[in-house]
Amino acid sequence: MRKKKSITFIVMLLIMLFASVPKSVAILEEQVVVLFDEAHAQNLTYTLGNFTKAIDALNETVLEYRPGRYAKYIVRLLPSNSTFNSSTLEGIDILIIGNPGRNASFNENELDTIKTFVENGGGLFLMCDPQLNETVYGENGNPTELNKILTKLNISSVLFSHNNSFGDAIFDENHSVIRRPYFVYVNSTEFNNETRISDNIQRVLVFSSSLIVKDNKYIVATGDNESYAMTPNGNFTYQTGTKPPWLVAYENNGFRIVLCGSTIMFSDLNVKRLDIPWIDAENNKILWYNIIKWLTPTPNPVDVSNYFLLAGGIILLLGVASFLTYKLLKARK
């Protein structure tokens, strides 16, 4: 009877031992706070219900953003009638600014605040949208305001194309949705495999404006040789054969910034003629995750004092269990 009680006690100790090991010991999990801008007349927002799937998929999700490093993402919204300032960006790790409205503008204080945020290691994700002679989703690309942010950061090697309130659009009649030459399929062959943003991408579907890139090392994805880009008045910004870039990852002077010519491709809007949300088309959601992971800053060194305390407790439990096992085996002799 005494032997059974001892065995039961040892088993209970072992159960307590493994139950006491938190998930964060096995997985180093950091909290990363993302701010999604809805304060600059965007027409694709969580509040309007047309950008919910991407935000919901990210919120509370744990992703491996570096080998062996995991992040739990918490998404906040910057509501309308708000501005970027030291308070609204306090504690933020990644700032996402989708296509601003045509009449929206960033004031000097906001531009200075964003500059400070990026200089302090914050990740910045800027998205535009194309503009066509025909209205597809009522979109109005506004690269002027996004380029103001890049100018404030003294960045000129990557910009949004055609610096006016209209922008351009990428076309490809041979690699697109039927009768929609501006809904372009982009295969993995047009992605730069030297960046983790390209991980697990086989094909995406884009409806995008182009980007101006003066240094090709920043390009993540382009159209193919049959793609081209033009403005609503018919002027070419990229001719066939020039592979118009639409996704860029800029990393320099500690800055991490992603430029994408499309906000729509991550939205809940249905792809016309396919009747599926853009975020669920092809590998668009994987690309969304990859961009966020790439922008995730390396956190401050983890305070390991609690782990040493936990390790001491585990060693103590193992010592007690070993002693009891020794006494039990000795008693059996």
Name residues whose C-beta falls within 8 Å of residue 11's C-beta, 6 or more positions apart in sequence. none
The predicted structure's pLDDT at residue 102:
86
Strand partners, 3: none
Mean pLDDT of 287-316: 67
With contact defined as beta carbons under 8 Å apart, do 120 and 254 qualify? no
Q: Between 231 and 139, where is the model more confident?
A: 231
The predicted structure's pLDDT at residue 309:
47
With contact defined as beta carbons under 8 Å apart, do 261 and 147 qualify? no
Domain boundaries defined on the chain: 2-21+304-332, 29-295
Q: How far is CA 133 from the centre of its chain?
A: 31
Q: What is the pLDDT of residues 128-158, one digit of tens each?
A: 999 887 878 887 778 899 999 999 999 999 9
The predicted structure's pLDDT at residue 132:
87
With contact defined as beta carbons under 8 Å apart, do 114 and 95 qualify? yes
Strand partners, 126: 97, 259
CATH code of 29-295, in short, is: 3.40.50.880
| Total residue count of the chain as it appears in this document | 333
Strand partners, 170: 229
Q: Is 260 exposed, middle or buried (0-12, 13-18, 19+ CB in 10 A)?
A: buried
